[in-house]
Amino acid sequence: LDVVFSTPEVGGLKSPHRLQLIREFQTWVEGLPQVDNSVSMADFVEEMNWGFHGEDDSYRKIPDDPSLVSQYLLVYDGVDLFDFTDHNYQLSHVNLNVNVHGANDIALIMEQIRDYLGQHVGTEMDWDIAGFGRLFADQEDLLIEGQIYSLVGAIGLIFALMYLQWRSLGGALLCMIPNISPILVIFILMGLMGIWLDMATAMIASVAVGIAVDDTIHVYHGFIRRVRRGISPVVALARTFSQAGRAVMTTTIILSAQFLILITSEFVPTTHFGLLTSIGLLTALLFDLLLLPALLIVIYQTVPKWRRENRKPVAI
């Protein structure tokens, strides 16, 4: 992680007061168990003040004289100082070495840092948090947000197309149940197995829904087509499974087997993607073959309006 400090005026970071604020921040942040150490331009100034006073430990501090700070920075001949500040001394950063790697842990550190800087630095300097640590922590929010948008878009589009196909709001809603349920199964498994959201696993739910809906269409279309021809619901389901059941099972098993090939990869995100997608497809198949038929029979027998709606003959 990096904490960036900036001032509006040239040479603003030569101020002993501002350097002391940075040093106090380092002392505080190094007291957190998640932070091993920190480095900033304030360390260089402290070290030079100590060296120019005969290495007396009582001088290992930021000098109070602004001109002395300027002289130290002028005579310093190392280029590594400018890894932590610009040549105008308006912009500087504190580099933090953290010992945690989870996005949630890093986000917690950033929240603590923001609280401290807001209370102790305030408007004395502009500050912000940067670095690969923040990028990694922000990535989780972006992944979750992207997954939500992707899922909502996919589910909404599937629902709209089903409604346009069958002109039945109840039927479209019913068909969404066996397609949404596998998503919950995938997320539960990810939690139980300790699998984090990443670039690969964030796509699993949308991919699984997009493929699994094909089985739902086969089962529901076969059932409704026969019911609208006057066949009883139980017989309609039996004939639907007789005609389309084997094809539905075969295509799902083939697709799942293809995704399972990915578990042989040495790249862990690819392994997770293949395993969870296969589980999602097989779960969707079970819901389509067991849950959807049961719901069709129950709703057809208990909801008169839906039963009348689907008695109307249609051209197939």
How wide is the angle at C-alpha 128 spanned by C-alphas 123 and 134, nearest 5°?
A: 160
Beta bridge partners of 92: 5, 85
**51 vs 77: CA distance, rounded Å:** 14
Q: Which residue has the tokens 């697709």?
A: 255
> Is residue 277 a contact partner of residue 270, using CB atoms and an 8 Å limit?
no
How wide is the angle at C-alpha 90 spanned by C-alphas 89 and 93, nearest 5°?
A: 85
Q: Which residue has the tokens 């057809």?
A: 300
**293 vs 236: CA distance, rounded Å:** 10
Other residues' Cβ atoms within 10 Å of the Cβ of residue 176: 18
Residues 6+ apart with CB under 8 A from 166: 172, 220, 224
92-106 burial, b for 16+ CB within 10 Å, e for fewer? bbbebebeeeebeeb
> Is residue 297 a contact partner of residue 228, using CB atoms and an 8 Å limit?
no
pLDDT at 305: 58
- Helix (H, G, I), strand (E, B), or coil: what is residue 227? helix
DSSP at 197: P
Note the helical H segments in the chain. Answer: 16-29, 41-51, 66-75, 103-120, 132-166, 169-193, 204-227, 233-240, 246-260, 268-286, 292-302, 304-309
Say what the alpha-carbon torsion angle 202, 208, 209, 211 is, to the nearest 10 degrees: 140
Q: Which residue has the tokens 């829904």?
A: 209
Q: How much is the pTM?
A: 0.63
Q: Which CATH superfamily is domain 150-309 in?
A: Multidrug efflux transporter AcrB transmembrane domain (1.20.1640.10)
CATH 1.20.1640.10 residue ranges for the chain: 150-309
pLDDT at 44: 92
Q: What is the pLDDT along the chain (316 residues), one digit of tens a residue?
A: 899 999 999 989 999 999 999 999 999 999 999 999 999 999 999 999 998 888 888 888 999 898 999 998 888 866 788 899 998 999 999 999 999 877 778 889 999 999 999 999 888 899 999 988 888 888 777 877 777 787 788 888 888 988 888 788 888 888 888 888 888 888 888 888 888 776 677 778 878 888 888 888 888 888 888 888 888 888 988 998 888 888 889 989 999 999 999 999 988 888 988 999 999 899 989 998 888 898 888 887 776 655 555 555 444 4
Encoding tokens for residue 127? 């500050």
Residues 6+ apart with CB under 8 A from 128: 3, 4
Other residues' Cβ atoms within 10 Å of the Cβ of residue 27: 10
pLDDT at 74: 87
Rounded to 5 degrees, φ, ψ at 36 are -80, -50
> Is residue 152 a contact partner of residue 125, using CB atoms and an 8 Å limit?
no
